[in-house]
Amino acid sequence: MTDKTERETVVAARAWLARRRAAGAAVVYRVAGEEIPAPGIATAGNEQAGNAPAARKETRNANAPAGNAPCIRRRTAPAQAGLFGGAPAASPAEDDDMDLGELEAAVAACAKCALRETRTKTVFGAGNAARRIVFIGEAPGRDEDLSGEPFVGRAGQLLTKILASVGFDRDDVYITNILKCRPPNNRDPLEGEVEACEAWLRRQLELIDPVLIVALGRVAGQNLLKRNASLKVLRGGVHYYDDIRVLVTYHPAALLRNPNLKRAAWEDIQLVRKLYDEEMAG
């Protein structure tokens, strides 16, 4: 991580921590590898199932959307910055008061990594933040880069069907990616790109305050959880991003390539539904 990116991430993280503490929340958080547990609270990391932090349910964001709040997603995408000439984006660290729409506008002007030079549109995310469930892929593909919307190609259509199979309307969950810009030729995100984009995702998740995150595919799971593990290992348990439960399942594109994986994916999405309902009921 570059010094600048690390500094931005740490400042944003500490601001978030301060707000949670001010709201009386019990907080456990990692800042640049340093764990900052609230007094008397067990440490949370990337535990597998059975080691959930005891205070996890107490750490909800008081500023999260109300249960019946309308969709936060703005249907009109903000203007894209020129490849090199746009004003530098405010980082989450520079403006902690940004709401999701303002954050999306800031991301649209972001020039923090070289992907600014090859993207057509940034792809911030879409869906209903108020439902507090977030699906995260690795990065936009060609169709997403052109449209500015996440998961709109064949893989996106399959994701819509998978969600519908357990009663989720696609527009009623929130979908985003680790990276907000498309890597050329859909290559895997580079470490520096993930680090540069991380503060945007972190702030996005802070605003949405999900009860459950679903990482779609190995690359998304590894980068979100900071674990260099196989998809098989990552699928095998419940993980944590701060205090938020994380499940890892197949990327829909993998299911298109290998339909034999669909049975396992079906079991995964049922677990997603079960854990989500548990969290919302709790």
Does 122 bind ligand SF4 (CB under 6 A)? Our answer is yes
Member of 55, 113, 159, 212 binding ligand SF4 (CB under 6 A): 113
Does 197 bind ligand SF4 (CB under 6 A)? Our answer is yes
Among 118, 239, 90, 270, which Cα is nearest to 187's?
A: 118
Does 107 bind ligand SF4 (CB under 6 A)? Our answer is yes
**Paired strand residues for 37:** 28
In the complex with ligand SF4, which residue's Cβ is closer, 107 or 244?
Answer: 107
Looking up tokens 């699906």, which residue turns up? 135
Among 220, 212, 231, which Cα is nearest to 176's?
A: 220
CA distance 67 to 60: 13
3-state secondary structure of 5: helix
The pairing of strands 133-137 and 174-177 is parallel
Does 205 bind ligand SF4 (CB under 6 A)? Our answer is no
**Contact string 166-195 vs ligand SF4 (x = CB under 6 A):** -------------xxx-----------x--
> Which segment (10-18, 104-112, 208-216, 267-275) binds ligand SF4 by CB under 6 A?
104-112
3-state secondary structure of 13: helix
> Shortest approach of ligand SF4 to residue 211 CB, angstroms?
25
Interacting residues toward ligand SF4 by CB under 6 A? 107, 110-113, 115-116, 122, 179-181, 193, 196-197, 200
